[in-house]
């Protein structure tokens, strides 16, 4: 079976597409669909060629052309979307090389751990960016939520609970193994999980997260970094 998909419809690229175009694309395809393809080929057109096709009515009907030209189909938007498409195809080729070409020297098997809190928007960004990293390395990845006493079901508000559930569902859809741990010591929970799962890279959000403030204020963040350095584990702060 042969099918086609536009780069803006890939689930884990949703935040990037929104940043580039200002449009929150609602029709999205799980990355797992692309991962199952035997071959991925980039069908490329220059921005000028694509805009010409649009003006000729080969993409939308006449009533939508002017709106498209002034919004999604701007030249700079198309160039950046082309870059995303090229990156995606490159990562698919890299995956094919890793799985089909024998290696004389075994490479380190990458494993990513995304650590999230109840912050909805930032949680989604961390999940999607970690999904992209895992996709690039064709590796297993996990999402960890550490529930402290302050975030127990009887204390957390309903909106935060709903956001957390939605983010964990998104992680599952993107192929992550989701873990929820009850522990007041967030740093230790992350360390123990990383050791148990053989994590090579821990992905964190910016320090404005509630639990990140906890880490920084109690000097546990330094403890986390020091512990990870002895375990040959990278720590990445995602914007």
Per-residue pLDDT tens, the chain, 239 aa: give them.
Answer: 899 999 999 999 999 999 999 989 999 999 888 888 888 888 888 888 989 988 999 888 888 888 888 888 888 999 999 999 988 888 888 777 767 766 555 556 789 999 998 866 688 999 999 999 998 888 899 999 999 888 887 788 888 888 899 999 999 999 999 999 999 888 889 989 999 998 999 998 876 545 555 555 555 567 677 777 777 788 888 87
Instruction: Dig out the tokens for 62 from the structure.
Output: 């006449």
pTM for the structure as a whole: 0.61
Closest CA to 78 of 18, 10, 15, 20: 20
Determine contact, residues 30/11, Cβ cutoff 8 Å: yes
- The ranges assigned to domains in the chain are 7-100, 111-237
Closest CA to 141 of 165, 109, 188: 109
Query: Do the two domains 7-100 and 111-237 of this chain adopt the same fold?
Result: yes
Alpha helices in 22-119 (DSSP H): 31-35, 47-55, 62-70, 75-100
Pick the CATH number of 7-100 from 3.40.50.300, 3.30.360.10, 3.30.420.40, 3.20.20.70: 3.40.50.300
Q: Which fold is adopted by the domain 111-237?
A: Rossmann fold (3.40.50)
Q: Residue 93 and residue 87: Cα distance in Å, rounded?
A: 10
Strand partners, 147: 182
């Amino acid at each position: 079976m042969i099918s086609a998909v536009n780069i803006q419809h890939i689930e884990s690229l949703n935040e990037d597409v929104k940043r580039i175009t200002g449009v929150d694309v609602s029709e999205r395809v799980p990355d797992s669909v692309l991962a199952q393809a035997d071959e991925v080929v980039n069908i490329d057109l220059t921005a000028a060629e694509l805009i010409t096709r649009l003006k000729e009515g080969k993409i939308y009907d006449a009533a939508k052309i002017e709106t498209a030209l002034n919004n999604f189909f701007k030249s700079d938007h198309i160039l950046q979307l082309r870059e995303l498409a090229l990156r995606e195809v490159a990562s698919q080729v890299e995956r094919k090389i890793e799985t089909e070409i024998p290696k004389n020297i075994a490479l380190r098997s990458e494993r990513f751990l995304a650590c999230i809190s109840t912050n909805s928007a930032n949680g989604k960004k961390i999940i999607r960016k970690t999904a992209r990293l895992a996709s690039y390395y064709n590796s297993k990845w996990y999402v960890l939520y550490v529930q402290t006493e302050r975030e127990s079901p009887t204390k957390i508000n309903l909106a935060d609970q709903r956001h957390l559930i939605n983010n964990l569902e998104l992680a599952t859809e993107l192929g992550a193994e989701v873990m929820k741990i009850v522990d007041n010591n967030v740093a230790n929970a992350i360390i123990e999980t990383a050791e148990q799962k053989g994590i090579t890279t821990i992905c964190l959000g910016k320090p404005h997260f509630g639990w990140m403030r906890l880490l920084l204020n109690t000097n546990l963040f330094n403890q986390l970094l020091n512990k990870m350095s002895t375990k040959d584990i990278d720590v990445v702060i995602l914007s």
